[in-house]
Amino acid sequence: MFAITSRRGWWYLLSLALLLPGVIALLTGGLKPGIDFTGGSLIQLRFDETVTQQAVQAAAVERGYPGATVQLTEDRGALVRTPPLEVEAKDALVSAIFDHVGPGQELSFSTIGPVVGAELTRAAAIGVAVASALILLYVMWAFRRMERPVVLGLAAIGALLHDALFLLGVFALLGHVIDVQVDALFVTAILTVIGFSVNDTIVVFDRIRENRQRHLRLPDAQRPDFEQTVNFSANQSLSRSLNTSLTALLVLLALIVLGGPTIRLFVVALAAGFMIGTYSSIFAASSALVSWDRRDVPRAWERFRSRLTLVR
Amino acid sequence: MRRRQWATLAAIAVIFGFALYVSLPGTPGLPFEVAGRDLSDLRFRQGLDLQGGLHVRFQASPPPGQQLQDGDMDAVKRIIENRVNALGVAEPLIQIEGDNRLIVELPGVDDPEEAIRVFRQTGQLLVINTGFDFIDEGTILPADPSQTVLRGRDLRDARVGFDSLGAPMIEFDLQPDAANRFQTYTASHLNEVLTITVDDVVISSARIEAAIRESGVIRGSFTADEARNVAIQLRYGALPVPLEVVETLSVRPTLGRESLELSLRAGVVGALLVLIFMVAFYRVPGLVAALALAVYASVVFAVFKLIPVTLTLSGLAGFILSVGVAVDANILIFERTREELRSGRAIRGAVESGFNRAWTSIRDSNISTLIICAVLFGFGSGGVRGFAVTLAIGVAVSMFSAITVSRNLLRLAITWPALTRPRLFGAGAPAGSEA
């Protein structure tokens, strides 16, 4: 058996190491909201010949869109982002680009008004809050016969927020490095990852519940303590959790490699989320349960305070 | 194998066969209707991002001082419908969203810009002299300036009235200068036919029976509601309120087809990888899971077609992902079975208790996924909702395929003694090696 919960200090450190770069990227404005949130236009072009980002950008600026950003994609494609455009203005911009840079075709065009963008931002925030609240209630209800169902619920929510924060951080980093913008599908990815993260956590907790009930019937001398039960259950769930996320990752990998570029970032977000979700439910959520049982935080606080008085 | 288990297997085979029949491309469908839906047309519904087309969301934005009236949005919808029909698009979707929004979706449109231009038309009312010809309602009659007698802006008011027999008609009043012109014109063109068009579509034709000054009536074969709608159109000449485009999405059909092909290819490869993994890792149960996955995929696809669910690119990704996740229940069960085998149980008991003991985990974890689907559906729009629906259907069907289908197939498999060696269940370690 693998010692999981006794190494919980290391897992917290690992989580910190995983989350910290992303959080820094988030705080430094790395998460770039796309037109779905801010309003604006997005034009997808494909050129007949290879073009440079600078040339397309220059053509857009010359046409009178100094704020336009251009991003090249595979297959001689380009994404042009501008403030909200009317169809006529877009047509003029596209033909100006083709005139300056070289011939090609327009593949798609989308415009989101600022009003709709603001609505999406609100809906996304409410959606995550409502999902968390419902999950908390559900976990409390599903494990109502266990001791401390609220702690189980909070641990599940903690794991969920851990995963959501990681995903936000990854995309904030990507925003800094390759100027990735997040859209409505990213919100969908976060909610989906939250769903599967809780799904995973519940499977582990289910094992804990089952083993705990069995262990509580044993005579006192043979009964494992809470931590042993949790560690045993996390180990039993390990193989299932790894295999399930492996099969999910297999299909996601196929979509990343073979699927089109349109939803690639969405799939990348899902894949990153599945990986972190598997880790968090086995290692972070189980460790948190044991930490609560062992009063890790109050004890650490006591140690800290006594040291403080010593210094004085 | 008891008789009841054979019956269950037969039922599974029937469901599988039916699902395959429905989900195959070009299926002839079913020769009956359910709840007004003709099931002989079982084409796979593709979203705009897969088949190309135009999606526009309008918002009514009344000028300062003007309020949105009851029925305004219905009038807007009707007018837009007329314009869309004039475009000749197959299966357009036009629906009112909330209090003041209108969604228009035109699938498969090759030239979305042209369609947007048509929406921008001002909804022009014309009264045209068509000589002595009565023109059928609904005919497209292009404007001919030399024969145009009145325009929308000449109208002062229009309302519904009833003649002495109680038939609805439309009464209209003209602006003072137009009234003078119209009187002179009608007096000199008695017995000729005037045809009224809105957006080039004929609404009615009427003979000039007497000189008309500032007000007149239009008779036609319409109901009171239709008369009211026409009156609304006449009164405003165009839309009752200006429409603002708050969202546009146009996708060329070529891009859509490309996305569809790439996703399908990725889906097939992904599913194969999952099958290979399952068989390599779990052996006999893995093979059973592979069969169950085939049942899963065809049942889900059949459900998509029967409901019908419009599959968008993200929905398709959700479906492909669900193939990877659908085996989760199988994995839970087989892991349990392996544990039971390792603790020294016989195959049959291990399989049964694997299913029984994995059930609470499967139930509890899937409920949490369904909660998320409900939230996504409640707060999302368009593509997000499509993803939520496909995911929820996937979860529901995977419970059936992973539990009912694989349980019964596995029971069948272990009646064959050669297949009952623990090694073939991925339980490599000899019994009792682990606590």
A residues 107-126 lying closer than 8 A (beta carbon) to B: 107-113, 115-116, 120, 123-124, 126
Is the CB of B376 less than 8 angstroms away from the CB of A127? yes
Q: What is the pLDDT of residue B182?
A: 87
Q: What is the pLDDT of residue A10?
A: 93
**Strands B243-251 and B53-60, bridge-based pairing:** antiparallel
Q: What is the pLDDT of residue B89?
A: 72
Residue B87 has pLDDT above 70, yes or no: no
B residues 383-412 lying closer than 8 A (beta carbon) to A: 383-384, 387, 391
Are B362 and B288 in contact by the 8 Å Cβ rule? The answer is no
Residue A269 has pLDDT above 90, yes or no: yes
**ipTM of the prediction:** 0.86
Strand partners for B106: B54
Q: What is the pLDDT of residue A176?
A: 92
B residues 153-212 lying closer than 8 A (beta carbon) to A: none
Name the percent of chain B lying above pLDDT 70.
89
Express each pLDDT in B31-62 by its tens digit: 777 777 777 777 778 888 888 888 888 888 77
Q: Apex CA B335: angle with CA B340 and CA B316, to 5°?
A: 155
d(CA B330, CA B278): 9
Express each pLDDT in A152-187 by its tens digit: 989 998 998 999 999 999 999 999 998 888 988 888
For chain B, what's the residue count?
435
Name the amino acid, one letter, at B273.
L
Chain B residue with Cα closest to A89: B113
Q: Secondary structure of chain B: what % helix, strand, coil (to 5)?
A: 55, 20, 30
- For residue B260 the two structure tokens come to 């569809």
Are B170 and B161 in contact by the 8 Å Cβ rule? The answer is yes
Radius of gyration of chain A (CA): 25
Q: Higher confidence at residue A173 or residue B249? A: A173
Residue A15 has pLDDT above 90, yes or no: yes
Name the percent of chain B lying above pLDDT 90.
9
Show the DSSP H helices in A217-312 as ranges.
Answer: 226-258, 264-279, 286-293, 296-311
B317: nearest CB among A124, A258, A263: A263
Residue among B248, B252, B254, B281 with most chain A CBs within 10 A, to mutate = B248
**Strands B215-218 and B243-251, bridge-based pairing:** unpaired
Question: CA B41: distance to chain centroid?
Answer: 14
| Average pLDDT, rounded, for chain B | 82
Q: Which segment, A236-250, B47-61, B76-90, B402-416, is predicted with the most confidence on average?
A: A236-250
Express each pLDDT in A70-101 by its tens digit: 988 878 889 999 998 888 788 889 999 999 99
DSSP for B118-179 reads HHHS---EEEEE-TT----TT-B----GGGEEEEGGGEEEEEEEE-TTS-EEEEEEE-HHHH
d(CA B256, CA B260): 6
Q: What is the pLDDT of residue B433?
A: 37
d(CA A32, CA A51): 25
d(CA B256, CA B265): 14
For residue B15, what is the enclosing H or E element?
helix B3-23
**Looking at the complex, does the CB of residue A297 fall below 8 Å from at least one CB of chain B?**
no
Residue B230 has pLDDT above 90, yes or no: no
Are A193 and A164 in contact by the 8 Å Cβ rule? The answer is yes
Is the CB of A188 less than 8 angstroms away from the CB of B332? no
Q: Secondary structure of chain A: what % helix, strand, coil (to 5)?
A: 75, 10, 15
Are B215 and B171 in contact by the 8 Å Cβ rule? The answer is yes
Strand partners for A111: A41, B248
Q: How confident is the model at residue B240 (pLDDT cuts 50, 70, 90)?
A: low
Average pLDDT of span B381-394:
80
Instruction: Give the distance from residue A304's alpha carbon to the nearest chain B alpha carbon, in angstroms.
Output: 39
- For residue B410 the two structure tokens come to 């596995």
For residue A52, what is the enclosing H or E element?
none
Q: What is the pLDDT of residue B83?
A: 67
Average pLDDT of span B120-140:
77
How many beta carbons lie within 10 A of that of residue A134, not counting itself?
16
**Looking at the complex, does the CB of residue B378 fall below 8 Å from at least one CB of chain A?**
yes
Express each pLDDT in A18-75 by its tens digit: 999 999 999 998 899 988 888 899 999 999 999 999 999 999 999 888 888 898 887 8
Q: Is the dihedral of CA A176, A177, A178, A180 positive or negative?
A: negative
Residue A274 has pLDDT above 60, yes or no: yes
Are A109 and A93 in contact by the 8 Å Cβ rule? The answer is no
Average pLDDT of span A5-28:
93
- Which residues are CB-neighbours of B229 under 8 A, at least 6 positions away? B74, B75, B78
Q: How confident is the model at residue B124 (pLDDT cuts 50, 70, 90)?
A: low
CB contacts of A45 in chain B (<8 Å) are none
For residue B31, what is the enclosing H or E element?
none
Residue B229 has pLDDT above 70, yes or no: no
Instruction: Give the distance from residue B332's alpha carbon to the nearest chain A alpha carbon, in angstroms.
Output: 6
> The sheet that has A77-82: what strands, in order across it?
A69-73, A77-82, A40-47, A104-112, B243-251, B53-60, B101-107, B93-97
Residue B432 has pLDDT above 60, yes or no: no
Q: What is the pLDDT of residue B249?
A: 87
Instruction: Label residue A32 left, alpha or beta by phi (over 0 means left) and psi (-120 to 50 means alpha).
Output: beta
Choose the weakest-confidence range: B50-54, B135-139, B231-235, B258-262: B231-235
- For residue B380 the two structure tokens come to 């999302």
Distant-in-sequence contacts of A94-98, Cβ < 8 A, 24+ apart: A94/A43, A94/A45, A96/A59, A96/A60, A96/A62, A96/A63, A97/A45, A97/A56, A97/A59, A97/A60, A97/A63
Average pLDDT of span A116-124:
83
Q: Which segment, A54-58, A143-147, B218-222, B304-308, is predicted with the most confidence on average?
A: A54-58
Are A112 and B247 in contact by the 8 Å Cβ rule? The answer is yes
Average pLDDT of span B377-403:
82
> The sheet that has B125-129: what strands, in order across it?
B148-151, B125-129, B193-198, B201-207
**Strands A181-182 and A32-33, bridge-based pairing:** parallel
For residue B198, what is the enclosing H or E element?
strand B193-198
Residue among A136, A144, A187, A199 with most chain B CBs within 10 A, to mutate = A199
Q: What is the pLDDT of residue A257?
A: 92
Residue B352 has pLDDT above 70, yes or no: yes
Q: What is the pLDDT of residue A41?
A: 92
Q: Which segment, A249-253, B141-145, B152-156, B428-432, is predicted with the most confidence on average?
A: A249-253
Average pLDDT of span B293-313:
88
Average pLDDT of span B322-345:
87
Express each pLDDT in A184-227 by its tens digit: 888 888 888 888 888 889 999 999 999 998 888 989 888 899 99
Q: How confident is the model at residue A312 (pLDDT cuts 50, 70, 90)?
A: low
Is the CB of B314 less than 8 angstroms away from the CB of A113? no
Residue B292 has pLDDT above 60, yes or no: yes
DSSP for B365-409 reads HHHHHHHHHHHHHHH--HHHHHHHHHHHHHHHHHHIIIIIIHHHH
Is the CB of A202 less than 8 angstroms away from the CB of B364? yes
Radius of gyration of chain B (CA): 32
Instruction: Give the distance from residue B404's alpha carbon to the nearest chain A alpha carbon, in angstroms.
Output: 19
Q: What is the pLDDT of residue B12?
A: 92
B residues 66-105 lying closer than 8 A (beta carbon) to A: none
- Which residues are CB-neighbours of B234 under 8 A, at least 6 positions away? B125, B152, B155, B158, B170, B172, B198
Instruction: Give the distance from residue A114's alpha carbon to the nearest chain B alpha carbon, in angstroms.
Output: 8
Are B270 and A253 in contact by the 8 Å Cβ rule? The answer is yes
Is the CB of A249 less than 8 angstroms away from the CB of B273? no
